[in-house]
Amino acid sequence: MTSHLLQQAWTLDTAGQSVRVMDDEALLAWAAKNGLSPRQAQLEALENGVFPLRYLKNFQALTLEEQIRLCRSRVLICGCGGLGGVLIHLLARAGVGFLRLVDGDTFTASNLNRQWLCDTATLGQPKALVGKERVAFINPLVEVEAFPSLLDEGKADDLMRGTDLVLDALDNLPGRFLLAERAHRLGIPMIHAAVAGWWGQMTTLLPDSSTDLHQIYGKKRSRDAEEEALGVLGPTAAVLGSLEALEALRLLAGKASAYSGKLLYFDGESGRTELLSLEPM
């Protein structure tokens, strides 16, 4: 049956190279006809050397092998707000094969300044479910699950199980510490990012690394009123969400982490980005 799929491919000359490509329509039709998921169809195409046309501009930045790794990857995104909305858009477009979205919140007017999934049509709707719908629009080849509930101790392990990477896009410290602790215990890498006002930070916690969130937050376990009052600027969330998405693509493609053992600090007010070794102060 694969031969029927491959008959739909054609050759495109791009940047001096010939690439076999196929459009979404052919992949979706073949998946439906054979009772397979669209994700399985794109994997079948990729493994036979055919690039879905929508990933053409990934090509050369990513090898075919790396694109296959993205397609096989399963990622948990905790939080579908300022950081999460950016992650969901970028990872779906990049071709990460499976996204599990968690958020217990619904969209309100104060989300409109920065949360990409929040617009006048989605106000009042559950963030995780909107994320799932948006992924279907952006890239129907991606498999997506949505859990419109708060992350808690009872659910954390089940949500993480079977995933290759955990992305922290939460807005609170207890949730981040819970996520980091469980990810470490289950041996799953986690990328942490957080924002406030003009500022943001991120790091990557690999299972074998000795760094953890205590080195970032010290004894702090909750956001104080002064920090809440800083709000979050849209571009700050987009920058940190994008940096988190890039690090996710690095890890999923099998490249080295850029931020393991390091703290990236973004100061949108001065325009400077600092990258420092993460050691107990």
For the CB of residue 138, give the shortest distance to another protein in the complex, in Å: 21
**26 or 169: whose CB is closer to another protein?**
169
Distance of alpha carbon 245 from its chain centroid, rounded?
5
**96 or 195: whose CB is closer to another protein?**
195
Structure tokens, 154: 């009872």
For the CB of residue 172, give the shortest distance to another protein in the complex, in Å: 7
For the CB of residue 171, give the shortest distance to another protein in the complex, in Å: 4
Chain residues that interact with another protein, rule: CB under 8 A: 79, 81-84, 169-173, 176, 193-201, 216-220, 223-224, 226-228, 230, 232, 237, 263, 265, 267, 269-270, 272, 274, 276-277, 281
**43 or 268: whose CB is closer to another protein?**
268
For the CB of residue 90, give the shortest distance to another protein in the complex, in Å: 16
Distances, alpha carbon 39 to alpha carbons 92, 95, 100, 270, in Å? 12, 9, 14, 43
**237 or 251: whose CB is closer to another protein?**
237
Structure tokens, 96: 């990460």
Task: Give residue 202's region: left, alpha or beta (phi > 0; psi -120 to 50).
Answer: beta
For the CB of residue 175, give the shortest distance to another protein in the complex, in Å: 9
**160 or 167: whose CB is closer to another protein?**
167
- DSSP-based three-state secondary structure for 225: helix
In the sheet where 17-22 sits, what is the strand order? 10-14, 17-22, 50-52
Handedness of CA 248, 252, 256, 262 (dihedral sign): positive
